[in-house]
Structure 1
């Protein structure tokens, strides 16, 4: 499996995100339990709100297909998403 760093940039509808957050977190909890999601959490840079997800999958296309079913994505709350292959050299996910 390959490790991917995924960044989400959220759109400005924070109240709508709050509505869908329980389903989003449940979705992520399922990925974590399955060993697909290694870590995730919110990030912010000035006015930008988003998230960083570390995922193991067979390809970037597989990561995209998985994350397309995230309730935040289904409800168009993710304004931008980047999927980057990450070669982990040190740390608990290095091979």
Structure 2
């Protein structure tokens, strides 16, 4: 298994984002119960609209599929995203992953 950091940039369509948010979070909760999603959350107020998500997956293709099926992606809320393989080595959460 590998780890991946995914960043989302959101479109300026706040109404659609608000409308789809519950479905998006339900989707992420399911991924968390499957141990695929380690952590996620939006950027803080004052930052550009978007989010950071940390995944555990077999490969980049699996993460790309997860992103493609995200209700935010399907609704056009995500204007841009990146998937970067990540190699954690230190930190207070290291033993948890």
Relative to 1, partners in 2 of residues 1:93 and 1:69: Cα closer, same or farther, differing over 3 Å? Answer: farther
Higher helix share: 2
Distance 1:11 1:5 in 2: 20
Distance 1:44 1:61 in 2: 29
Distance 1:3 1:55 in 2: 6
TM-score, normalised by the number of residues in structure 1: 0.92
- Unpaired stretches in structure 2, ≥5 consecutive residues: none
Q: Aligned ranges for residues 49-88 of structure 1 at < 5 Å? A: 49-88=49-88
Distance 1:15 1:23 in 2: 14
Q: Does 1:37 align with 2:37?
A: yes
Partner of 2:20 in structure 1?
20
Q: Does 1:90 align with 2:90?
A: yes
Q: Deviating runs (4+, > 6 A) in structure 1?
A: none
Question: What is the alpha-carbon root mean square deviation over aligned residues?
Answer: 1.6
- Unpaired stretches in structure 1, ≥5 consecutive residues: none
3-state SS, counterpart of residue 69 of structure 2: coil
The 10-residue stretch of structure 1 (54-63 or 36-45) with the greater mean CA deviation from structure 2 = 36-45
